[in-house]
Amino acid sequence: MALPRLNDTPKYSMVIPSTGKKIRYRPYLVKEEKVLMLANESGNLESIVNAMVEAVVSCCTPKLDPRFLTTFDMEYMFMQIRAVSVGESSDILLTCPHCETDNDITVNVKEAYCKEVEKNPKVKISKDVSLEMKYPSYSDFDFDNENIVEEFLFNSISAVCTKEERFPLAEETSEEIRAFLDSLTSDQLKSIDDFISEMPVVTKEVNFKCGQCNEEQEHKLQGIRSFF
Protein backbone atom coordinates (compact mmCIF):
# COMPACT_ATOMS: atom_id res chain seq x y z
CA MET A 1 0.00 0.00 0.00
CA ALA A 2 1.34 3.44 -0.86
CA LEU A 3 1.92 5.68 2.14
CA PRO A 4 0.76 9.30 1.90
CA ARG A 5 3.33 11.83 0.64
CA LEU A 6 3.64 14.77 2.98
CA ASN A 7 4.35 18.46 2.38
CA ASP A 8 4.19 18.46 -1.40
CA THR A 9 1.64 21.29 -1.66
CA PRO A 10 3.20 24.54 -2.94
CA LYS A 11 1.44 26.89 -0.52
CA TYR A 12 3.87 29.84 -0.63
CA SER A 13 4.39 32.30 -3.46
CA MET A 14 7.17 34.61 -4.65
CA VAL A 15 8.09 36.76 -7.63
CA ILE A 16 11.02 35.80 -9.89
CA PRO A 17 13.32 38.86 -9.81
CA SER A 18 14.32 38.96 -13.50
CA THR A 19 10.88 38.31 -14.99
CA GLY A 20 8.46 39.65 -12.38
CA LYS A 21 6.46 36.41 -12.74
CA LYS A 22 4.74 35.01 -9.68
CA ILE A 23 5.25 31.33 -8.89
CA ARG A 24 4.33 29.01 -6.07
CA TYR A 25 6.71 26.95 -3.99
CA ARG A 26 6.95 24.45 -1.18
CA PRO A 27 9.72 23.98 1.40
CA TYR A 28 12.54 21.64 0.51
CA LEU A 29 12.21 18.27 2.16
CA VAL A 30 14.53 15.69 3.66
CA LYS A 31 15.34 14.20 0.22
CA GLU A 32 16.49 17.60 -1.11
CA GLU A 33 18.20 18.57 2.14
CA LYS A 34 20.36 15.44 1.94
CA VAL A 35 21.60 16.42 -1.53
CA LEU A 36 22.29 19.98 -0.35
CA MET A 37 24.23 18.79 2.69
CA LEU A 38 26.35 16.37 0.67
CA ALA A 39 27.14 19.12 -1.84
CA ASN A 40 28.10 21.57 0.91
CA GLU A 41 30.34 19.01 2.55
CA SER A 42 32.08 18.34 -0.78
CA GLY A 43 32.90 22.07 -1.05
CA ASN A 44 32.76 21.66 -4.84
CA LEU A 45 31.23 24.77 -6.47
CA GLU A 46 29.59 22.85 -9.31
CA SER A 47 27.93 20.37 -6.90
CA ILE A 48 26.74 23.19 -4.64
CA VAL A 49 25.23 25.11 -7.57
CA ASN A 50 23.63 21.95 -9.00
CA ALA A 51 22.07 21.04 -5.66
CA MET A 52 20.70 24.57 -5.30
CA VAL A 53 19.29 24.56 -8.85
CA GLU A 54 17.73 21.12 -8.33
CA ALA A 55 16.10 22.19 -5.07
CA VAL A 56 14.64 25.34 -6.70
CA VAL A 57 13.31 23.40 -9.69
CA SER A 58 11.73 20.63 -7.55
CA CYS A 59 10.09 23.05 -5.10
CA CYS A 60 8.52 25.47 -7.60
CA THR A 61 5.27 25.21 -9.55
CA PRO A 62 4.76 25.50 -12.50
CA LYS A 63 7.92 23.67 -13.56
CA LEU A 64 10.82 26.02 -14.30
CA ASP A 65 13.50 25.71 -16.93
CA PRO A 66 16.74 26.62 -15.12
CA ARG A 67 18.28 27.84 -18.40
CA PHE A 68 15.94 30.83 -18.24
CA LEU A 69 16.70 31.78 -14.66
CA THR A 70 19.57 34.15 -13.96
CA THR A 71 22.21 33.48 -11.29
CA PHE A 72 20.55 36.07 -9.01
CA ASP A 73 17.06 34.58 -9.60
CA MET A 74 18.41 31.22 -8.47
CA GLU A 75 20.08 32.63 -5.35
CA TYR A 76 17.06 34.73 -4.39
CA MET A 77 14.61 31.88 -4.96
CA PHE A 78 16.77 29.41 -3.07
CA MET A 79 16.94 31.77 -0.09
CA GLN A 80 13.16 32.18 -0.05
CA ILE A 81 12.70 28.41 -0.15
CA ARG A 82 15.34 27.89 2.52
CA ALA A 83 13.56 30.41 4.76
CA VAL A 84 10.37 28.31 4.82
CA SER A 85 12.34 25.04 5.04
CA VAL A 86 14.81 25.54 7.89
CA GLY A 87 13.95 29.02 9.18
CA GLU A 88 14.23 32.66 8.23
CA SER A 89 17.21 33.52 10.37
CA SER A 90 20.87 32.89 9.76
CA ASP A 91 23.69 33.61 12.22
CA ILE A 92 26.77 35.20 10.72
CA LEU A 93 29.93 36.91 11.93
CA LEU A 94 30.55 40.50 10.84
CA THR A 95 33.85 42.17 11.55
CA CYS A 96 33.66 45.72 12.88
CA PRO A 97 35.67 47.89 10.44
CA HIS A 98 36.61 50.23 13.31
CA CYS A 99 38.05 47.84 15.93
CA GLU A 100 38.13 44.58 13.92
CA THR A 101 36.09 42.64 16.50
CA ASP A 102 33.83 39.89 15.17
CA ASN A 103 30.17 40.46 16.03
CA ASP A 104 27.51 37.72 16.03
CA ILE A 105 24.64 38.96 13.91
CA THR A 106 21.33 37.29 13.11
CA VAL A 107 19.94 38.16 9.67
CA ASN A 108 16.52 37.46 8.26
CA VAL A 109 17.28 35.86 4.88
CA LYS A 110 13.69 36.35 3.74
CA GLU A 111 14.36 40.09 3.59
CA ALA A 112 17.03 39.71 0.91
CA TYR A 113 16.14 41.45 -2.35
CA CYS A 114 17.51 42.02 -5.85
CA LYS A 115 17.45 45.42 -7.56
CA GLU A 116 15.44 45.73 -10.75
CA VAL A 117 16.94 44.48 -13.99
CA GLU A 118 17.61 46.58 -17.02
CA LYS A 119 15.60 45.49 -20.06
CA ASN A 120 17.74 44.67 -23.13
CA PRO A 121 21.00 45.90 -21.61
CA LYS A 122 23.69 47.19 -23.99
CA VAL A 123 27.29 48.27 -23.62
CA LYS A 124 28.74 50.64 -26.22
CA ILE A 125 32.42 49.98 -26.69
CA SER A 126 33.20 52.28 -29.61
CA LYS A 127 31.44 54.58 -32.07
CA ASP A 128 30.49 51.65 -34.25
CA VAL A 129 30.49 48.62 -32.00
CA SER A 130 28.11 47.80 -29.18
CA LEU A 131 27.48 44.66 -27.21
CA GLU A 132 24.11 43.17 -26.40
CA MET A 133 24.38 41.98 -22.83
CA LYS A 134 22.46 39.40 -20.80
CA TYR A 135 22.24 38.19 -17.25
CA PRO A 136 23.79 34.72 -17.24
CA SER A 137 22.18 31.57 -15.95
CA TYR A 138 24.12 28.95 -13.99
CA SER A 139 23.29 26.60 -16.89
CA ASP A 140 25.65 28.69 -19.06
CA PHE A 141 28.65 28.14 -16.78
CA ASP A 142 31.51 25.84 -17.54
CA PHE A 143 32.66 24.89 -14.05
CA ASP A 144 35.79 23.26 -15.44
CA ASN A 145 37.00 26.77 -16.17
CA GLU A 146 38.50 27.79 -12.84
CA ASN A 147 38.32 31.43 -13.82
CA ILE A 148 34.76 32.33 -12.70
CA VAL A 149 35.28 36.00 -13.62
CA GLU A 150 36.03 34.93 -17.21
CA GLU A 151 32.92 32.70 -17.19
CA PHE A 152 30.82 35.72 -16.22
CA LEU A 153 32.47 37.72 -19.00
CA PHE A 154 31.83 34.99 -21.61
CA ASN A 155 28.24 34.43 -20.55
CA SER A 156 27.15 38.03 -20.13
CA ILE A 157 27.61 39.03 -23.76
CA SER A 158 24.92 37.77 -26.09
CA ALA A 159 25.98 39.50 -29.31
CA VAL A 160 28.50 41.87 -30.84
CA CYS A 161 26.86 44.45 -33.10
CA THR A 162 28.52 46.62 -35.72
CA LYS A 163 26.64 49.09 -37.91
CA GLU A 164 26.06 46.41 -40.52
CA GLU A 165 26.08 43.11 -38.69
CA ARG A 166 25.08 41.28 -35.54
CA PHE A 167 27.23 38.38 -34.33
CA PRO A 168 25.50 36.17 -31.74
CA LEU A 169 28.16 34.75 -29.41
CA ALA A 170 26.29 31.44 -29.09
CA GLU A 171 27.53 30.71 -32.60
CA GLU A 172 31.20 31.47 -31.81
CA THR A 173 33.85 29.22 -30.27
CA SER A 174 35.41 30.17 -26.94
CA GLU A 175 38.74 30.78 -28.77
CA GLU A 176 36.99 33.29 -31.04
CA ILE A 177 35.37 35.04 -28.04
CA ARG A 178 38.65 35.09 -26.13
CA ALA A 179 40.42 36.62 -29.16
CA PHE A 180 37.69 39.27 -29.40
CA LEU A 181 38.02 40.16 -25.70
CA ASP A 182 41.81 40.24 -25.99
CA SER A 183 41.48 42.78 -28.81
CA LEU A 184 39.70 45.31 -26.55
CA THR A 185 41.40 48.21 -24.83
CA SER A 186 41.39 48.10 -21.04
CA ASP A 187 38.80 50.93 -21.01
CA GLN A 188 36.48 48.92 -23.25
CA LEU A 189 36.92 45.86 -21.10
CA LYS A 190 36.19 47.98 -18.05
CA SER A 191 32.78 48.98 -19.42
CA ILE A 192 31.90 45.27 -19.67
CA ASP A 193 33.28 44.66 -16.16
CA ASP A 194 31.15 47.55 -14.89
CA PHE A 195 28.04 45.93 -16.32
CA ILE A 196 28.92 42.68 -14.57
CA SER A 197 29.67 44.30 -11.23
CA GLU A 198 26.40 46.28 -11.46
CA MET A 199 24.40 43.11 -12.08
CA PRO A 200 21.60 42.48 -9.58
CA VAL A 201 22.64 40.27 -6.68
CA VAL A 202 20.82 39.11 -3.53
CA THR A 203 21.34 41.98 -1.10
CA LYS A 204 20.45 43.03 2.41
CA GLU A 205 21.60 46.00 4.48
CA VAL A 206 22.59 45.08 8.00
CA ASN A 207 23.08 47.76 10.64
CA PHE A 208 24.65 46.77 13.92
CA LYS A 209 26.23 48.31 16.96
CA CYS A 210 29.65 46.82 17.63
CA GLY A 211 29.70 45.01 20.98
CA GLN A 212 33.30 46.07 21.57
CA CYS A 213 33.59 49.74 20.54
CA ASN A 214 29.86 50.64 20.47
CA GLU A 215 30.14 52.20 17.01
CA GLU A 216 27.12 51.93 14.73
CA GLN A 217 28.08 50.03 11.58
CA GLU A 218 26.33 49.83 8.23
CA HIS A 219 27.05 46.72 6.25
CA LYS A 220 25.67 45.32 3.01
CA LEU A 221 25.39 41.57 2.46
CA GLN A 222 25.71 40.72 -1.23
CA GLY A 223 25.59 37.30 -2.85
CA ILE A 224 24.23 34.13 -1.30
CA ARG A 225 27.54 33.20 0.36
CA SER A 226 27.56 36.32 2.53
CA PHE A 227 24.25 35.26 4.15
CA PHE A 228 25.40 31.98 5.69
Binding site for Zn ion (CB under 5 A): 96, 98-99, 101, 210, 212-213
Shortest Cβ 90–Zn ion spacing (Å): 21
Residue 174 or 212: which CB sits closer to Zn ion? 212
Q: Which is nearer to Zn ion, 100 or 176 (CB)?
A: 100
Contact at 8 Å (CB) between 108 and 117? no
- Asked if residues 172 and 109 have their Cβ atoms less than 8 Å apart, the reply is no
Residue 188 CB, shortest distance to Zn ion, in Å, is 42
Q: Which is nearer to Zn ion, 102 or 176 (CB)?
A: 102
Closest approach of Cβ 98 to Zn ion, in Å? 4
Pick the closer one to Zn ion by CB: 103 or 191: 103
Do 223 and 152 form a contact (C-beta atoms < 8 A)?
A: no
The Cα–Cα gap between 194 and 213 comes to 36
Given a contact cutoff of 8 angstroms between Cβ atoms, the answer to whether 104 and 91 are in contact is yes
Q: How far is the CB of 211 from Zn ion (least distance, A)?
A: 8
For residues 121 and 132, what is the distance between their CA atoms, to the nearest angstrom? 6
Main-chain dihedrals φ then ψ at residue 189, nearest 5 degrees: -65, -35
